[in-house]
Amino acid sequence: MCGIVAYIGFQPAAPIIYKCLGKLEYRGYDSCGIAISNRDNITVEKDTKRVAALQFNTLPLDGKIGLGHTRWATCGEPSRANAHPHVDCLHKIAVVHNGNIENFEELRKALVGEGHIFTSETDTEVLPHLIEKYYEGELGQAVTRAIKDIRGSFAIAVICAGEEKVVLAKQKSPLVIGLIDKEYIAASDIAALLDYTDRVMYLEEGDVCNITTVGIELYRNGVLTELTEERIAWKPADTRLGGFSHYMMKEINEQPRVITETLAAFEGVSEKLIGLLDPPENRRTSLLMVGCGTSYHSALVGKYIFEELIGRPVNVELASELNYRANVIADKVALAISQSGETADTLQAVRRIKATGCKMVCITNVEGSQLSRLADLSIYTKAGPEISVASTKTFIAQVALLYAICISHANIDEILKKDLERGLGQIPILIRQFLNEQSNIETLGRYLATFNNVLFVARGINYPVALEGALKLKETSYIHGEGYAAGELKHGPFALLDSNTPAIAIVAHDRTYEAMLTNIREIKTRKAPVIAVVEEGDKEVADLVDIVIEVPHTDPFFSPMLNVVALQLLAYYTALERGCPIDFPRNLAKTVTVE
């Protein structure tokens, strides 16, 4: 979940590394560090600071080869000693690492027995000591030998004093190389590279790569191999705030464009799904969907859509739980959803599912990601880089794709299909209208910020929206929020309701409407304040509750796409009132690349 950067070229390395690290802070920001090689010396600066603060508080570093790291702590608490880069005893080899070394304790014990001195609690520190142990004058060979001793996941970059070279190695963690005419930047994510290049090369499992200013030597399974150059479609402006105070608000406002571009791109791949997700013989067999966090909530919305339009039952599984089931049961095809395409639990689940002989379709936002390379067919959301840790625009893009898939493959009347296509096409316009007209949500955020617990309730297709709304509130404002199916309130959650625990009810004019009115009345009898997200003009709900958030009228089938925007804004303004670091919540990272 950490972010790593390496540079080699003809410019001072430190400013480039710091700038790239700033674009990777969404991957972790407990601490950060930089190592610069200058002939026979390596200088390391690191601390429990944000990247900009470290750069401001350290002296300029001279050298044209270097490494950088921004950390989400997994092994060892956030501290200067545990921050990367880590070095060997002689201070000649420096390493940055994203991943998890499972056998680090036994390796560390053996290395200590051989006289190596450790200064941190991290698993990563075994790497420079192993490389030092095997070093016989050529860094690439030492790295190749060292990683053979390691069990776990890693993307590493290594430099050695006296060698004008950067060595990279990858196993189950993302790593991409940006090309700039005999200059090279390696990073965990293409977002770090956009200000410098749109030309990239993706490393595969087990690759070891030696980079000098002369070129790249890639060894795959010990064989010298040519890397394929690819182009990035994203632009540098995609990672800038563009006049907004926070990335979260910027990304909320980008959602109308994101939906439009995602739907337009889907038209080019729709036919590839024919006979895959909905072959006639599979109509009565269940479809497996997997995801984590927000992507899991997207899949839950997909369950309702698939079962409504295609009539095919869907099982939605948390990838992190599926990985610990004794057996994975999947039919002929499954669907995996991940914003980054690098989510460790989702990747492991996909590998297990594919091992059953099942075909895999994925929805992801990142071309070239590990998930896209594992899948038999990849469908891309066109959300662009999402910097805020709390996902907004990728959720709505994922849901838009699930609607498009089902509408295009549903065996329904053509008139109904055209009506649904028009309805989906109108959603970006309605969201833009809502974003332009919403005026009471900021005030409501100030009100909600006074509470410590909030209950989100809904039924049917909006139940996953209640889960997502609760997640957004927890992530951004640190208020405890819980999402519940409204019919489950009597089975325990009613015990939590009083005047200090507001309930947010998501109400759609569908078959759940009357039941939701009943649930709201029951909540009100417990003296809990009720905020309702409703279709504009709904006087019946307005008369029952304390506060309403009105969203534009649409077919209730598409109501999740409008209702979730209201809850995203509510979470944002609540967090703003509480003074929380909205884009970078404590203890979290955006791309979960370790189990």
Residue 144 sits in a domain whose CATH number is 3.60.20.10
456 and 341 in one domain? Answer: no
Q: Cα separation of 87 and 90, whole Å?
A: 8
443 and 429 in one domain? Answer: no
Where in the sequence is the domain holding 181, given as residue range(s)?
3-238
Number of domains the chain contains: 3
166 and 302 in one domain? Answer: no
| Parallel/antiparallel/unpaired status of strands 199-202 and 184-187 | unpaired
Domain limit, last residue, from 215, 238, 261: 238
In a domain, 589, yes or no: no
In a domain, 568, yes or no: yes
155 and 261 in one domain? Answer: no
Instruction: Please state, as a whole number, how many other Cβ atoms lie within 10 Å of the Cβ of residue 237.
Output: 10
* DSSP 8-state secondary structure symbol assigned to residue 495: G
Residue pLDDT tens, the chain, 595 long:
689 999 999 999 999 999 999 988 888 889 999 999 987 889 999 999 999 999 988 888 889 999 999 998 888 899 999 999 999 988 999 999 998 999 999 999 999 999 999 999 999 999 999 999 999 999 999 999 999 999 988 999 999 998 999 999 998 888 999 999 889 999 998 889 999 999 999 998 889 999 998 999 999 888 888 888 888 888 888 888 888 999 999 999 999 999 999 999 998 787 777 666 655 555 567 889 999 999 999 999 999 999 999 888 899 999 999 988 878 877 788 999 999 888 889 999 999 999 988 889 999 998 888 899 899 999 999 999 898 999 999 999 999 999 999 998 888 889 999 999 999 999 999 999 999 987 789 999 999 999 999 999 999 999 999 999 999 999 999 999 999 999 998 888 888 888 999 999 999 999 999 999 999 999 999 899 999 999 999 999 999 999 999 999 999 999 999 999 999 999 999 999 999 999 988 887 666 656 6
Burial 1-26 (b: 16+ CB within 10 A, else e): bbbbbbbbbeebbbebbbbbbbbbbb
For residue 563, give the CATH number of its domain.
3.40.50.10490
Q: Cα separation of 55 and 523, whole Å?
A: 52
| Parallel/antiparallel/unpaired status of strands 453-458 and 480-485 | parallel
In a domain, 532, yes or no: yes
- CA-nearest of 534, 583, 295, 538 to 434 is 534
Residues with catalytic function: 2, 590
220 and 255 in one domain? Answer: no
Strand partners, 504: 456, 531
Domain limit, last residue, from 193, 216, 238: 238
In a domain, 594, yes or no: no
Q: Phi first, then psi: what are they for 170, rounded to 5°?
A: -140, 135
312 and 286 in one domain? Answer: yes
* CB distance 232 to 190 below 8 Å: yes
In a domain, 103, yes or no: yes
111 sits in the region (left: phi over 0; alpha: psi -120 to 50; else beta) called alpha
458 and 401 in one domain? Answer: no
> Which amino acid is residue 495, in one-letter code?
A
Say what the pTM is. 0.86
In a domain, 105, yes or no: yes
* Token pair listed for 180: 């700039």
542 and 421 in one domain? Answer: no
468 and 566 in one domain? Answer: yes
Listed in order, strand segments (DSSP E) in 462-559 are: 480-485, 503-506, 530-535, 547-551
Domain limit, last residue, from 437, 467, 498: 437
341 and 224 in one domain? Answer: no
355 and 255 in one domain? Answer: yes
Measured N-to-C along each axis, helices 293-309 and 463-477 cross at an angle, to the nearest 10 degrees, of 170
In a domain, 411, yes or no: yes
Q: Cα separation of 560 and 396, whole Å?
A: 9
Q: How many CA atoms lie within 13 A of 69 on its CB side?
A: 33
256 and 124 in one domain? Answer: no
Q: Which residues contact 41 (CB under 8 A, 6 or more apart)?
A: 161
In a domain, 587, yes or no: no
